[in-house]
Structure 1
Amino acid sequence: RLAADPLTCFCLDHLTRSEARALEQDLELAGRVQQGLLPPRLMVDQGWEIAHVYRPLGTVSGDYCDVVRPPSADGGVLFLFGDISGKGVAASMLMAHLHATARTLAGLDLPLPQILERANRVFCDSTMTNHYATLVCGRLSAGGTVELCNAGHCPPILVNGGTVTQVEATGVPIGLFCMREYAVRSFELCPGDRLVLYTDGLSEAKNVADEDFGSSRLAGIVHAWRDDSAAALASTLVEQVTAFRGRMPRSDDESVMVIRRV
């Protein structure tokens, strides 16, 4: 996987065998550390089933995926899903930084817009100007309400009462402008309804004809497999993208989270 990048390949050619192996071991360890930051692949909490698939392009990833149980008994389950600009080690370091920031803010039991606004300020203050992150921040209540803030991420796919819609962003990516406000949207979900989050590694996957898979195809699959479990639907989405890509190699990290009301 290291040799897949031309610059990495050039650098490896100028390392001794032991130096190259040490570098590879460091990256493999970084990958295991990053995997440890992810939530369980399947969670059931407060009447919600939450599943995800997380597929780094290389050893580490710039995709961000987390689920945080509430600090208080009457709080909602917080979910976060996003994508750091860039790829590889630098993006994975910023992903870990965002994870730590969001976890800290989640413990304060803040309204969603304040979580995004504070995360945005921290990201602006502590990263280089050309780095940013798209981020969806949401909260699930035991009564079936979903609150959602979307900072420039791919539109989540909502299945509500058999109707499939795409939920547009409510603000710009974090890290671009230090003082931004984010709007929140709310939905009431019934048993069987679901929300699907994905990174552009899926929607922008290309086939041999240089066609993008596209969000419309994703929405079509979500509708066709709307009776599946969260875990089954997440796996199906990745499998369908892989089949569409055919002989074309992957060019980005691929992640998806499915949230289903049970």
Structure 2
Amino acid sequence: MIELKAFYRHVERVFEGLGPARSARRLAEQIAPRLLEHLGGALGLAAVQLYAREGGAVRLGRQWGASRPDLAEEIARRLAGGGADEPPWAFEHPAGRAGVIDVDDAGGPYLALFGPAPGDLRPAPPRGEFLSALGSLRYAIAQHLHRRALEDVLEQARTIQMSLLPAGRPAFGTFDVCGASLPAQRVGGDVYDWLALDAETLALVVADASGHGLPAALQARDVTVGLRMGVERDLKITRMVEKLNRIVHRSGLVTRFVSLVFGELEMNGNLTYINAGHPPPLLLDRAGAHELTVGGPVLGPLPDAVYKMGFAHVDRGAALAMFSDGVIECRAPDGAMFGTEGVRAWLEAWREGPGEAAVADLLRRLEAHRRGPTPEDDTTVLYVRRPA
């Protein structure tokens, strides 16, 4: 009799640490010897065989464990019977009990599992339990393939998202500009960017699509691409943001929105900006800390929203921090948030830069604050310093 808890622990071990398998056949080749290793005792397994369809026929590909007869004709006969008798199968064979499972329900490959040979005294479960175990194993394989496919999609999304982040650091006069973005999951909804509008103007943006994971990442991608296509030096930024708002609204994702802060920094330090429902950037200069709050609502919910343009000046010796809510809402174990005061303390410590070290220090401070490496929310910061 199969002890179920022990059996499922053994099934988990079959899949632990498996390398990437780009095909069902490769996965079958990986798990076949593990079935003998981890389930040989529970199911009384003596051999495992791998079969595949080739040119309309079923052929034996590989075998592990004891030598057993070729079941290709038996598998082909059962497959020819149509959907009325789909795997898994368990049947008695002159060489002992055998079971067959399909690794992929779209035409194989197939794994044949052999129990003890006649006269072999090793314990084996009753036929009904053996068939039930085969069904559980088939389900585990299907879940593993599904998870792998999803991981591949997420990895592709992460590659796309990371490719949208700006490479290196911009050369813009004496300004020191640096950014970083860390998703809470494999992919996230935060982005930052900088775009040279002309030799005298640099566009800066930080955006945060609501939610986490793939849907947020796709919406953040659309915002980034939209900005890169729509930014023009002679187009008022209010019109550009209003147009982007209508695009986000027409996406049909009514439960989702995007907060954004967009600015155009001139070489002389003049900064025009719009804050669309985003945590206010913090500008630190000799007069103190200033929050950049002018703008309008988040992008998406209101198609006819109107946005105002704000003005600031980045003096010599001043520093500007643009960030997502994952920074200020970073929580300590006791619930205390990092907050704007945490950002201000960091910015005061790094007013003189350099930017790369400043950004790295902020990420360390956030990790120390939450006392762990994994953030609850996506974390993004864009640091701008104008040397004295």
2:326 alignment counterpart: 201
Q: Secondary structure at the match of 2:148?
A: helix
| CA distance in structure 2 between the aligned counterparts of 1:20 and 1:189, rounded to whole angstroms | 49
| CA distance in structure 2 between the aligned counterparts of 1:107 and 1:167, rounded to whole angstroms | 22
The residue correspondences of 1:49-128 to structure 2 (distance < 5 A) are 49-70=176-197, 72-73=198-199, 76-107=201-232, 109-128=234-253
Task: Please tell me whether the aligned partners of residues 55 and 254 of structure 1 are also in contact (alpha carbons under 8 angstroms).
Answer: yes
Q: Which one of 37, 41, 44 corresponds to residue 164 of structure 2? A: 37
Q: Scaled by the length of structure 1, what TM-score is found?
A: 0.88
Q: What is the CA-CA distance between 1:13 and the residue it aligns to?
A: 6.7
| CA distance in structure 1 between the aligned counterparts of 2:233 and 2:226, rounded to whole angstroms | 11
- What amino acid maps onto 2:240 in structure 1? I
- What amino acid maps onto 1:159 in structure 2? L
Residues 1:215 and 1:13: Cα distance change in structure 2 (over 3 Å): farther
Task: Please tell me whether the aligned partners of residues 184 and 374 of structure 2 are also in contact (alpha carbons under 8 angstroms).
Answer: no
1:256 alignment counterpart: 381
* Bigger mean CA deviation after superposition, 250-259 or 99-108: 99-108
Task: Please tell me whether the aligned partners of residues 42 and 231 of structure 1 are also in contact (alpha carbons under 8 angstroms).
Answer: no
Q: Secondary structure at the match of 2:221?
A: helix
Q: Secondary structure at the match of 2:295?
A: coil
| CA distance in structure 2 between the aligned counterparts of 1:14 and 1:36, rounded to whole angstroms | 33
- What amino acid maps onto 1:28 in structure 2? E
Q: Are positions 1:46 and 2:177 aligned together?
A: no
Number of corresponding residues: 249
Q: Percent identity?
A: 25
Larger Rg: 2
Q: Scaled by the length of structure 2, what TM-score is found?
A: 0.61
Q: What is the CA-CA distance between 1:260 and the residue it aligns to?
A: 1.4
Q: Secondary structure at the match of 1:21?
A: helix
Residues 1:13 and 1:168: Cα distance change in structure 2 (over 3 Å): farther
Task: Please tell me whether the aligned partners of residues 185 and 212 of structure 2 are also in contact (alpha carbons under 8 angstroms).
Answer: no
Q: Which one of 291, 300, 306 corresponds to residue 166 of structure 1? A: 291
- What amino acid maps onto 1:166 in structure 2? E
| CA distance in structure 1 between the aligned counterparts of 2:233 and 2:266, rounded to whole angstroms | 17
Task: Please tell me whether the aligned partners of residues 171 and 183 of structure 1 are also in contact (alpha carbons under 8 angstroms).
Answer: yes
| CA distance in structure 2 between the aligned counterparts of 1:201 and 1:51, rounded to whole angstroms | 18
| CA distance in structure 2 between the aligned counterparts of 1:179 and 1:13, rounded to whole angstroms | 50
Show CA shifts across 1:24-83 (max 9, x none): 12211211111010012422213322110110112111002111111x445x11111111
Q: Which runs of 5+ in 1 are unaligned?
A: 1-11
Q: What is the CA-CA distance between 1:190 and the residue it aligns to?
A: 2.4
Q: Secondary structure at the match of 1:45?
A: coil
- What amino acid maps onto 2:151 in structure 1? E
2:257 alignment counterpart: 132
| CA distance in structure 2 between the aligned counterparts of 1:151 and 1:233, rounded to whole angstroms | 26
Task: Please tell me whether the aligned partners of residues 208 and 248 of structure 1 are also in contact (alpha carbons under 8 angstroms).
Answer: no
Highest RCO, 1 vs 2 (Cα 8 Å, sep ≥ 6) = 1
Q: Are positions 1:17 and 2:140 aligned together?
A: no
Q: Secondary structure at the match of 1:69?
A: strand
1:8 alignment counterpart: none
Q: What is the CA-CA distance between 1:111 and the residue it aligns to?
A: 1.5
2:266 alignment counterpart: 141
Q: What is the CA-CA distance between 1:259 and the residue it aligns to?
A: 1.2
| CA distance in structure 2 between the aligned counterparts of 1:247 and 1:66, rounded to whole angstroms | 27
| CA distance in structure 2 between the aligned counterparts of 1:247 and 1:63, rounded to whole angstroms | 20
Task: Please tell me whether the aligned partners of residues 42 and 51 of structure 1 are also in contact (alpha carbons under 8 angstroms).
Answer: yes
Residues 1:20 and 1:78: Cα distance change in structure 2 (over 3 Å): same
- What amino acid maps onto 1:45 in structure 2? F
Task: Please tell me whether the aligned partners of residues 338 and 366 of structure 2 are also in contact (alpha carbons under 8 angstroms).
Answer: yes
| CA distance in structure 1 between the aligned counterparts of 2:294 and 2:184, rounded to whole angstroms | 25
| CA distance in structure 1 between the aligned counterparts of 2:271 and 2:141, rounded to whole angstroms | 52
